[in-house]
Amino acid sequence: MANFIFRRLVSAVLTILVVSALTFSLAFLSGNPAIAVAGKDSSAAEIARVREFYGFDRPVAEQYVDWLGNALRGDFGRSYHYQQSVHDMIAQRLPITLGLGAAALALALVLALPLGILASLRQGSWIDRLMLAISVVGQAMPTFWLALLLIVLLGLNLRLLPISGNSSLAHFVMPTVVLAYFAMPALMRLTRAGMIDALQSDYIRTARSKGLSPSAVVLKHALRNVLIPIVSIAAVQLGALLGGSIVVEQIFALQGLGALSYDATLRSDLPVLQAITLLVAAFYVGLTLFADLLNAILDPRIREGW
């Protein structure tokens, strides 16, 4: 087991490094980062000055190694625009994005599990089809559109919820719903498919023939097996939600990590962009690792395979 964890950790670190090197070079691929840093309407002379000031004229690899060296010492530098330490900026904004992601995932799970189970028990019925329709729409509808619909309905017409900002919990309701609806379909379909599989298996037939109550069969025996893939997907979904919140934060003016990374991309604020990428990549990798370990604990077969 220790060997397994060690190998997974090494590959996790490598993944994070590759991702961060890629983002760094992408910023240079799109042209001259000094243009975005200098800002719109700056003169050619100004852009040349900024290029020299930030050392963009040096080889990209050299700049990356410099950045990485500092990052490894815990120094993520200062934003080109905010004149603040990147560390402080992220620390300030991370709770918003994490809270939003966790709330959205929780809501998605609370909805997806019962609805998925229901659909599996009434396979082919109108309920099943309705659930299918809900998932398809959820997968197909762009988040910004749902966000605007909710703003018009709940914020403007019914005046039930505040439209933008983050000063109260009520401000997080609409963004949470939007993100949850984005995350729910995969979880619900997975629950349904897993349950259908499980309910047809031999051990369920045995459980039923022993005279166990239907609810005990479904919840105790079938669901336990279905939970394994769901936990894995849910963990990965949380990573996706951190990335997916860029648009949602922008629309609801939430000023979390998503809004910050959008802004940093537009302005080629490399120190901010690099730190966020590193963080999100680390999250992703960490969550995947967590999912694997959790699977191992829940399923002895996986553990023995090590």
Partner 1 sequence: MADKSDDTLRIGWGGDGVMVNADNYYGATRAGIWFTKMVWDTLIERDAATGEYKGNLATEWSWVDDKTLELKLRQGVTFHNGEAFDADDVDYTLNTVSAADSGVKFAAIVSWIDHVDKVDAFTVRIVAKTPFPQALEFLSGPMPIYPNEYYQAVGPEGMSNAPIGTGPYKVVEMKPGEQYTLIRNEAYTWGSPKPVAGITNVIIREIPDKQTQVAELMAGGIDVTADLSPDLVGKLTEVPGVSATMSETLRIFTIGLDAANRTQNKAVNDVRVRQALNMAIDRKAMVDNLMAGAARVISTPCNPLQFGCDETQAVQYPYDPEKAKALLKDAGYENGFDLALYAEAPATEAEAIMGYLSAIGVNVTLNRLPYDAYRDAQMKGEAPAFLFNWGSYSLADAAASVSFFFKGGDDDFAQDKEVQDWLAMGDSVTDPAARSEAYGKAIHKITEQAYWIPLYSGVRGYGWDSELNFKPYADEIPRFYEYTWK
Residues that bind partner 1 (CB under 8 A): 30-33, 35-36, 38-49, 53, 79, 81-84, 89, 148, 151-152, 155-156, 159, 162-167, 250-253, 255, 259-260, 262-263, 266-268
CB of 175 to partner 1, least distance (A): 12
Single-letter amino acid code for the residue at 138: G
CB of 63 to partner 1, least distance (A): 17
Q: Measured between alpha carbons, how far is 250 from 266 in angstroms, rounded to an integer? A: 13
- Are 288 and 276 in contact by the 8 Å Cβ rule? The answer is no
Closest to partner 1 by CB, 87 vs 303, is 87
CB of 16 to partner 1, least distance (A): 26
- Are 259 and 246 in contact by the 8 Å Cβ rule? The answer is yes
* Residue 11, both tokens: 């590959």
Q: Name the β-bridge partners of 78.
A: 85
- Are 22 and 268 in contact by the 8 Å Cβ rule? The answer is no
Q: Measured between alpha carbons, how far is 246 from 143 in angstroms, rounded to an integer? A: 10
Closest to partner 1 by CB, 99 vs 286, is 99
Closest to partner 1 by CB, 25 vs 84, is 84
List Cβ neighbours of 158 (8 Å cut-off, separation of 6 or more).
Answer: none
CB of 165 to partner 1, least distance (A): 6
CB of 257 to partner 1, least distance (A): 12
Closest to partner 1 by CB, 65 vs 160, is 160
Residues in the chain, total: 306
Q: Measured between alpha carbons, how far is 296 from 291 in angstroms, rounded to an integer? A: 9
Closest to partner 1 by CB, 135 vs 268, is 268
